[in-house]
Structure 1
Amino acid sequence: MSHVAILGTGLIGASIGLGLRAAEGTDDIEIVGFDTSRERERAAEGRKAIDRRGRSLRDAVQGASLVVISTPVLATREVMEEIGSALAVGAIITDTCSTKAQVMSWAEELLPSSVNFVGSHPMAGKTEFGPAAAEATLFQDARWVIVPSRTASSAAVETVAGLATALGAKPMYMDAAEHDAYAAAISHLPMFAASALFRLVRDSEAWPEMSLLAASGFKDTTRLAGTDELMAHDIAATNREQVIHWLQRLRGALYDIEDMIADPDRSEDLLRYLAQLNIDHIAYHDGQVGRVEIDQKGSGIPMPGMTDMLLGGALSERLRQMTEDSDEDTQTRQRRRFFGRR
């Protein structure tokens, strides 16, 4: 019987266990879990995310062919130090941490050369945490980033990719620095931006009244303010440079919007900016992701054929009208937009 160890039985670790147990061809796998919280361990075992609890970190990994480290980022170093000498020769070690460069460095420093470390990060999650929130389908159709170490065998890399695929995810390969830069923009920045927005409004003297008015827009935008604080702290500590870089870019983007709103003469600029965002956002939600070549010349507006295909031409026509008729009165254009007047 194969032995898989899951170290950390929170949302991600328990979801991996549930997903493995639900996957085809895994009946002969024993899943051993360990968590510093006995309550989380018992909950994971109760939900059958793990078959049994390890007495210690070292006991959990004893004889394991695959070890999944699913702990907060800063705890990962201590875990690697503790399990290093207990790992079986040829064992495959992976992690699910939200930052990769620091974790890859720790693995190279602390894990024995007789094992294979393959960094990974499933791009899925929830604001709820703990095994009670775990789902076997949490990773369905999600990207699962794989960052092989310099010494990992091809078989080890294929095994981690196979784990991702078995859980319904889509493997995506990149190096650690690339991952951390991208994750800072699309995962870490939204989390800290949501936190800042919620704190700003929550600290207002008018919060008792505003909280009654707040509906889906505010709740959706600030959802990530409910992220596990330990995870958020560790992300900032291990990806500091990239998080700061994107926070500074966000600040600049907000200043740009502020300038357009503050200057009545830039009303056209604001409308054009918002219309282009509308196109880009709809395309993103319609699945137009990845590297798509578009015409970057002139105004930066996508080629008419592309936007027509995505939106039936309505929004791209609006953009063309704004570009060609820049002298037309804004109120007249807005009336035509909503009432169809020429």
Structure 2
Amino acid sequence: MSARPPTPPVKITLIGLDRVGGSLGLALRERKTIRVTGFDRDGDLARLAASRGLVHDARWDLPEAVSGADLVLLGGPLADQAEHLRTMAPALREAAVVACLGPLLAPPLAWGQAHLPARRHVVAAHPILNPAYLHDGALGLDAARADLFARGLWALAAGPEAAPEAVKLLSDLAALLGAQPHFMDPAEHDGLMGALDGLPVLTALALLRAADASPGWAEMRKVADRGFATATFALNTADPAALSLNRDNVLRYLDAALAELQAVRDQLARGDQAALAMALAEAAERRAKWAAEREQGEWEAAEQDRPELPTFGDLLGRAFTGGLFQKRDKK
């Protein structure tokens, strides 16, 4: 009886070798059943990622990078994703899955539907990171960590033409990385991101500009400490495209924040220390409760009875040897 030929490795392409892309490479590179190709518009960054072993090989031509890929993980700036989808579309093999990674779900799904040919599947994913890295402030490829997604959550949404196997594939990938897959309506998700992503950027912008415009900035900058650094950190990762694409939701939460600031200003102007102290105490309590829940990560009561996850090999076999990839060429 002749031995079965070896199953060819699963081909994954990472686009955008920043902290997220580099961390994905670190988490996947040791799996013998996976071959990881990296692409970044910055050729030096792609070469650096390859030299550090974060990817098995790097490509400087996007269509070449995705050719033959079973799964494309499209990260990097949101503003570049529509162009990347348009450029890679002719090179994608039939049944390939493209997962757009970023802070919004609805726009990438629309771009995928507009630019990808039939029988190519698009899924949008927003990786919510390991709570251990909430406050480290690290950025770029040097901040890549294999456990960046462990104990986190991946918010997922699929386009109307995406096969169920494509959605299951991303769900399994999230689980393999130690994260909890969480399916959301894209409009609902993006509405929430108006508060969670857009509003922190705008408040950080307002704070920095108000301070910098002050006649006292020359001395102020010398004594600025953790509070100022923390409150303005969102500027380091601000994405203007995310603000523009999610404008209505951001404006709604900006108006709500301005109303809250006006109420606090009125309390301060009246010298109402008791009311101000109560407001601060209540807010601190709510933040502490959220931080504890975020650390624990058990958002659903049902998760307490969650069965043990299959091994990496089990999940990989189910995801990549099922019907979605049966037509894959063995080269």
TM-score bucket of the superposed structures, by smaller chain: 0.7 to 0.9
Letter in 2 for 1:32: T
SS at match of 1:36: coil
Aligned to 1:6: 14
SS at match of 1:43: helix
Show the 5 A alignment for 1:221-260. 221-227=231-237, 232-260=239-267
The 1-side partners of 2:284 and 2:75 are apart by: 37
Q: TM-score, normalised by structure 1?
A: 0.78
The 2-side partners of 1:286 and 1:175 are apart by: 26
Candidates 187, 190, 194, aligned match of 2:200: 190
Unaligned runs of 5+ in 2: 1-8, 302-331
Aligned to 1:29: 34
Q: Does structure 2 conserve the Cα–Cα contact (< 8 Å) formed by 1:144 and 1:172?
A: yes
Letter in 2 for 1:184: G
Letter in 1 for 2:10: S
The 2-side partners of 1:134 and 1:195 are apart by: 27
**Cα RMSD (Å):** 2.0
Q: Does structure 1 conserve the Cα–Cα contact (< 8 Å) formed by 2:153 and 2:180?
A: yes
Aligned to 1:85: 90
Aligned to 1:283: 289
SS at match of 1:286: helix
Aligned to 1:140: 150
2:270 corresponds to 1:263: yes
Aligned to 2:169: 159
Letter in 2 for 1:103: P
CA drift of 1:202 comes to 2.3
SS at match of 2:13: strand
CA drift of 1:107 comes to 0.8
The 1-side partners of 2:289 and 2:15 are apart by: 39
Q: Does structure 2 conserve the Cα–Cα contact (< 8 Å) formed by 1:127 and 1:224?
A: no
- Percent sequence identity is 28
Please say which structure displays the higher CA radius of gyration: 1
2:199 corresponds to 1:199: no
Show the 5 A alignment for 1:56-205. 56-124=61-129, 127-205=137-215
Show the 5 A alignment for 1:210-225. 210-225=220-235
CA drift of 1:224 comes to 1.7
Cα–Cα, structure 1 residues 12 and 248, in superposed 2: closer, same or farther, change >3 Å? same
SS at match of 2:29: helix
Letter in 2 for 1:46: S
Cα–Cα, structure 1 residues 268 and 291, in superposed 2: closer, same or farther, change >3 Å? farther
Letter in 2 for 1:158: K
Q: Does structure 2 conserve the Cα–Cα contact (< 8 Å) formed by 1:189 and 1:243?
A: yes
Unaligned runs of 5+ in 1: 293-342
Q: State how many pairs are aligned.
A: 285
Aligned to 1:18: 26
The 1-side partners of 2:250 and 2:190 are apart by: 9
Cα–Cα, structure 1 residues 269 and 55, in superposed 2: closer, same or farther, change >3 Å? closer
